[in-house]
Amino acid sequence: MANNSTPFSSKCEILADLWSSYRDDEEFQDFVRYADLGLPLAYCATTQIVAVDNDDPAGEIINETWDLFVAGLGIEDTGFDNLDQVLEIAVANNKNK
């Protein structure tokens, strides 16, 4: 699995926040539909419904979902703490294009 800057726990929190806050948002509709397993897994991991480790199969799905998320936004994983930070970088990156 790729070794990105954002810690696994933060990836889970960010993806869980995306899923709970934006799953009905038209802008994220295709991604949410595609990541129909990774996003809920991240939510379950952050709420401790399931125990997930970075290297187990569920963790691999979450990491793949994360990689698709940042790639879809056209940003590099420089280490993020929360969803707002990711979205701010994505907006700034798109303005510079």
pLDDT tens, residue order, the chain (97 aa): 445 599 999 999 999 999 999 999 999 999 999 999 999 999 999 999 999 999 999 999 999 999 999 999 999 999 999 999 999 999 998 777 6
Question: What pLDDT does 1 receive?
Answer: 42
Q: Quick one: how far is CA 54 from the chain centroid?
A: 14
Residue with tokens 């963790």: 59
Residue with tokens 């907006």: 91
> How do the domains of the chain map onto residue ranges?
8-95
CB 96 within 8 A of CB 45: no
Question: What pLDDT does 83 receive?
Answer: 97
Question: What pLDDT does 94 receive?
Answer: 77
Question: What pLDDT does 56 receive?
Answer: 94
Question: What pLDDT does 95 receive?
Answer: 79
